[in-house]
Structure 1
Amino acid sequence: MSQTLQVVIVPSPGMGHLIPFIEFAKHLVHFHDYFNVTCIIPTIGTPPDAMKASLLALPSNINHIFLPPISFEEDRSDHSEVGNVVLISLAMTRSLPSLRHTLKSLIETNTRVVALLVDSFGTAAFDVANEFKLSSYLFFTSNAMALSTLFYLPKLDEMVSCEFRDLPEPVKIPGCVPVNGRDIGELFQDRKSDTYKLFLNMARRFGLAKGIVLNTFIDIETGALKALMEEDEEYSGGVRPPIYPIGPMIRAGSSDRGRKSDCLTWLDNQPSGSVLYVSFGSGGTLSHNQLIELAFGLEMSQQRFIWVVRSPNDESANAAFFKVQSEKDPFDFLPDGFLERTKQRGLVISSWAPQIEVLGHGSTGGFLTHCGWNSILESVVYGVPMIAWPLFAEQKINAVMLTEDVKVAFRPEVRKEDGGLVIREEIAKVVKKMMEGVEGKKVRKRMRENLTDAASKAFMEDGASRKSLLKLALEWKNQKAGKY
């Protein structure tokens, strides 16, 4: 072919969305070397160093362009999870003029741009793609169950008058296990809010995409993918675009050897499968009271653990998403004497750990996770069963899928009489069940035999995800280039 084909990808702000876009780009150019990828990145404030480092490490056929940062000082009344979602959506919308200018420049330099792949918060960019006669695709960075929920949302909105948390019966989302209304997610619980209306409008615009790319694989979400890919009448009206499940795509291990050496050295000295890894992702935060309960629960369990601890926030469950968090040392919030009492079997790390290397280490036997989809896929790839502790966004839906459908996780109970906290006794019970109980052994076996093996086969030459990526690549190869 005389000219390399260019695919433009547009993630929303935040590492959690950038990571799967980067991994997709790497897989695309590796398996189909007639593509180059340009990653155009809307930003809120100055891009963090970790983001810059990830982008600079990419191969030469993947380029990146930061759009001018969007400021929200006049808009931001709080830093709640709901506020953050609205900010992300606004950032994507306010970045459209810069995106338009950048696309125009690419096309005018005789670059053969054949497709625009955007984040779920960036569906307004479909209109920009149309201006350049570009085919626009959606990259949904969560899973098929969450996508099925969003496609079902307009119909559910018409059927139900109360708040979803007040529904007396579980919601039957097409292709998925029934979900209690309270587990649909905090972002959907106030139907009069701007956030709910944003997601409702987002779901309706998904159908405008020429195709939807999903970082999942058939063996982990058979029912949801089947419902999305077939003519399921349970969804509301409108045609669903073709679905391309191309996962699991996870990031490679860190190249920062200095930061991770102490952590992995400690793991080297622990028995096989004996350590529980505790982390709430790049943005998750606990309240002060919940942090105290978790500390005592880990201590009471008498199990080995690595805990990535972050300063608490009583206002938001994802206060660290845009670095809006306490500057105090997180160790200052731990119970008195906790570090001393647990030093023989626990390692507490401030804010960051090399998650890929920890999950891939032979001493790691469990993962207490916030149920972000990236973390779930990483755990699946390395065969580590989970304790599901969802915090925000679609994570409660993910927790239901893990515990009720594929059954590779335990979920601690949250009771009203405990003030909405997961209390220390419950934490200790679930941790012990995972790490030393018979049920934990069954979950570990189920994870490795049903999911981890299937994940490793998905990108083999005849694997379903490899074939799905090939189908998408051929479709893009045959697209006409964008014009201005």
Structure 2
Amino acid sequence: MMTSAALDMDSVRAAPTTICHMVAMPYPGRGHINSMMNFCKILASKQPDILVTFVVTEEWLGFIGSDPKPENIHFASIPNVVPSELVRAADLSKFIEAVITKMEAPIERLLNILEPLPTVIVADTWLFWAVGIGKRRNIPVAMYWPMSASMFTVIQHFHLFAQNGHFPVDISAKGDEQVDYIPGISSTRLVDLLASSNGSNLQITHRLLEAFSWLSKAQYLLLTSLYELESQAIDVLKSEFPFPVYAVAPAIPYLDVAENSPQASDDSDPNYFEWLDSQPRSSVVYISMGSLLSVSSAQMDELAAGLRGSGVGFLWVARGEACRLKEVCGDRGLVVPWCDQLRVLSHSSIGGFLTHCGWNSIQEGVFCGVPFLTFPIVADQIQNSKLIVEDWRIGWRVKEDVGVDCLVAREQIKGIVQKFMDLESGEVKEMRKRTSELQQICQRAIEKGGSSETNISAFIRDISQCHGR
């Protein structure tokens, strides 16, 4: 029973003049949902007579159902696919398996009651069965990829690893070997590409490859990347797919910042902007390790000790560990359980971003012109770190070794933070200059005639033609 499916049905029925009814289907994880919702908001702002039905599980509706959104975006929900504790990454493999095998049927039932009838589907690439739904209903499907174009390209050409004797492989023995045979990807250490495709993650890799096998049956591919940042990878994908490939980044809430909407804050510490206002320009390191996978408590303690010893000011979003870490960190920084990340990164006192290298966070850091200290944990984060450090040269690695269990000591953290925040260093000045250049590229891309704005407008024209099918 879809208890919330009719949540916005009255307003949906009241919109007969819409030129297009788009059903958005994100993978039920924080980063995926945020990315697709931001994209939908950008789309809705450009074409107010597009109606978007944003489909989430009942649990996620509880999390985001009261969030502000445009009038032409409505929520609909399906039952939770698995017990809620799995959403917390208790067993990521089982959760992904449930998403792949249990979401399709309730979404099919939901589509049967939507009014007006859907005219296009935008689905997360993990929800590859959406292609079959679209085919059965004669509805075009756009597959949405919320990670880097480089990561997409690596998975698209995964068969080349086997052809070159690199899969399966002992990463501990061959991880430092360079891979230069993936089209559109610069020479990269094998460990940066395959660290998350071995051992216990092998089942996830096979499921992702299955999802990619369906891509050629879709009608569009949406990449949350900027053409100027990953042009070689994007050009490869455009040449290989028989349908439009659109780079539509940044899929971040920049409209909210531009419109000066009210600042949200957490009741337990509402004064972090006042604290930032009191800090010198470019003097604060912002730290966030993401919303899903975490480093160990031991690593948190090393981070805290290193930051405290560096003498550099910092704002640390530590979620559930915030209370404990406040005691460990001393009075040089501020530790909070949550913050409005894009607003924080755009604050003049922020001089660096120590990050787990999630793709949404990277987009926000580039948009705000903030250089990075990279601390990848798993999956695409490892390759994202390589993009930042080696390809774009707008950051440094804190964590050189790949793996969740590799502990970075406090003295190493202290040293690199001090060096990174030395604004008089020639090396640091060069890095910050490149960071500023990428920020300008990013902001030009969303302006009229920019690469992202042009691609989004072209996609809107495409899906508007689907109306009245």
TM-score range normalised by the length of the shorter chain = 0.7 to 0.9
Corresponding letter in the other structure for 1:403: V
User: 1:144 touches 1:225 (CA, 8 Å); kept in 2?
Assistant: yes
- Which of these residues, 263, 266, 270, is aligned with residue 275 of structure 2? 266
* Paired residue secondary structure (2:76): strand
* Paired residue secondary structure (2:108): helix
What residue in structure 2 maps to residue 307 of structure 1?
316
* Paired residue secondary structure (1:193): helix
Q: Relative to structure 1, is the Cα distance of residues 360 and 134 closer, same or farther in structure 2, using a 3 angstrom cutoff?
A: same
Q: Give the whole-Å Cα distance in 1 for the aligned partners of 2:119 and 2:61.
A: 30
Q: Give the whole-Å Cα distance in 1 for the aligned partners of 2:62 and 2:414.
A: 36
* Paired residue secondary structure (1:47): helix
What residue in structure 2 maps to residue 5 of structure 1?
20
What is the deviation of 1:94? Answer: 0.5
Larger deviation: 455-464 or 363-372? 455-464
Q: Relative to structure 1, is the Cα distance of residues 48 and 368 closer, same or farther in structure 2, using a 3 angstrom cutoff?
A: farther
Q: Give the whole-Å Cα distance in 2 for the aligned partners of 1:163 and 1:14.
A: 29
* Paired residue secondary structure (1:250): coil
Q: Relative to structure 1, is the Cα distance of residues 28 and 192 closer, same or farther in structure 2, using a 3 angstrom cutoff?
A: closer
Corresponding letter in the other structure for 1:248: P
What residue in structure 1 maps to residue 142 of structure 2?
137
* Paired residue secondary structure (1:479): coil
- Which of these residues, 56, 67, 77, is aligned with residue 41 of structure 1? 56
User: 1:86 touches 1:195 (CA, 8 Å); kept in 2?
Assistant: no
Q: Does 1:16 align with 2:16?
A: no
What is the deviation of 1:387? Answer: 0.5
Tell me: higher relative CO, structure 1 or 2? Use CA pairs within 8 A at least 6 residues apart: 1
What is the deviation of 1:392? Answer: 2.0
User: 1:4 touches 1:35 (CA, 8 Å); kept in 2?
Assistant: yes
What residue in structure 2 maps to residue 104 of structure 1?
112
**Mapping 1:143-222, distance limit 5 Å:** 143-160=148-165, 161-163=167-169, 165=171, 166-167=173-174, 169-172=177-180, 173-190=182-199, 193-222=202-231
Corresponding letter in the other structure for 1:53: S
User: 2:322 touches 2:335 (CA, 8 Å); kept in 1?
Assistant: no
What residue in structure 1 maps to residue 248 of structure 2?
246
What residue in structure 1 maps to residue 4 of structure 2?
none
**Mapping 1:398-477, distance limit 5 Å:** 398-414=384-400, 420-436=406-422, 437-449=425-437, 451-477=438-464
Q: Give the whole-Å Cα distance in 2 for the aligned partners of 1:307 and 1:92.
A: 35
Q: CA RMSD in A?
A: 2.6
User: 1:368 touches 1:387 (CA, 8 Å); kept in 2?
Assistant: yes
What residue in structure 2 maps to residue 390 of structure 1?
376
What residue in structure 2 maps to residue 320 of structure 1?
none
What is the deviation of 1:140? Answer: 0.3
Q: Give the whole-Å Cα distance in 1 for the aligned partners of 2:33 and 2:312.
A: 34
User: 1:413 touches 1:426 (CA, 8 Å); kept in 2?
Assistant: no
Q: Give the whole-Å Cα distance in 2 for the aligned partners of 1:192 and 1:37.
A: 34
* Paired residue secondary structure (1:24): helix
Q: Give the whole-Å Cα distance in 1 for the aligned partners of 2:170 and 2:468.
A: 44
User: 1:93 touches 1:122 (CA, 8 Å); kept in 2?
Assistant: no
Q: Give the whole-Å Cα distance in 2 for the aligned partners of 1:86 and 1:171.
A: 31
Q: Give the whole-Å Cα distance in 2 for the aligned partners of 1:395 and 1:21.
A: 19
What residue in structure 2 maps to residue 325 of structure 1?
none
What is the deviation of 1:265? Answer: 0.5
What is the deviation of 1:219? Answer: 1.7
- Which of these residues, 257, 264, 283, is aligned with residue 292 of structure 2? 283
Q: Give the whole-Å Cα distance in 2 for the aligned partners of 1:33 and 1:480.
A: 15
User: 1:6 touches 1:115 (CA, 8 Å); kept in 2?
Assistant: yes
User: 2:30 touches 2:292 (CA, 8 Å); kept in 1?
Assistant: no
What residue in structure 2 maps to residue 376 of structure 1?
362
What is the deviation of 1:80? Answer: 5.5
What is the deviation of 1:241? Answer: 4.0
Corresponding letter in the other structure for 2:177: E
Q: Give the whole-Å Cα distance in 1 for the aligned partners of 2:405 and 2:131.
A: 44
Q: Relative to structure 1, is the Cα distance of residues 452 and 177 closer, same or farther in structure 2, using a 3 angstrom cutoff?
A: same
User: 1:70 touches 1:91 (CA, 8 Å); kept in 2?
Assistant: yes
Deviations 1:319-376 (A, max 9, x none): xxxxxxxxxx653367xx634xx31x21122x31221221111101000001111111
What residue in structure 1 maps to residue 82 of structure 2?
71
Gaps of 5+ in 2: 1-15
What residue in structure 2 maps to residue 95 of structure 1?
103
User: 2:88 touches 2:292 (CA, 8 Å); kept in 1?
Assistant: no
Q: Relative to structure 1, is the Cα distance of residues 162 and 26 closer, same or farther in structure 2, using a 3 angstrom cutoff?
A: closer
Gaps of 5+ in 1: 232-238, 312-328
What is the deviation of 1:3? Answer: 4.7
Q: Relative to structure 1, is the Cα distance of residues 244 and 257 closer, same or farther in structure 2, using a 3 angstrom cutoff?
A: same
Q: Does 1:113 align with 2:134?
A: no
Q: Give the whole-Å Cα distance in 2 for the aligned partners of 1:30 and 1:419.
A: 44
Number of aligned positions between the proteins: 440
**Mapping 1:325-336, distance limit 5 Å:** 330-332=322-324
Corresponding letter in the other structure for 2:44: V
Normalising to structure 1: TM-score of the pair? 0.84
User: 1:191 touches 1:197 (CA, 8 Å); kept in 2?
Assistant: no
What residue in structure 2 maps to residue 234 of structure 1?
none
User: 2:131 touches 2:218 (CA, 8 Å); kept in 1?
Assistant: yes
Taking every aligned residue pair, what percent have the same amino acid on both sides? 26
Q: Give the whole-Å Cα distance in 2 for the aligned partners of 1:243 and 1:79.
A: 32
Corresponding letter in the other structure for 2:290: G
Q: Give the whole-Å Cα distance in 2 for the aligned partners of 1:282 and 1:48.
A: 17
Deviations 1:197-228 (A, max 9, x none): 11221222222221110121112112211222
What is the deviation of 1:164? Answer: 6.3
Q: Give the whole-Å Cα distance in 1 for the aligned partners of 2:291 and 2:428.
A: 27
* Paired residue secondary structure (1:460): coil
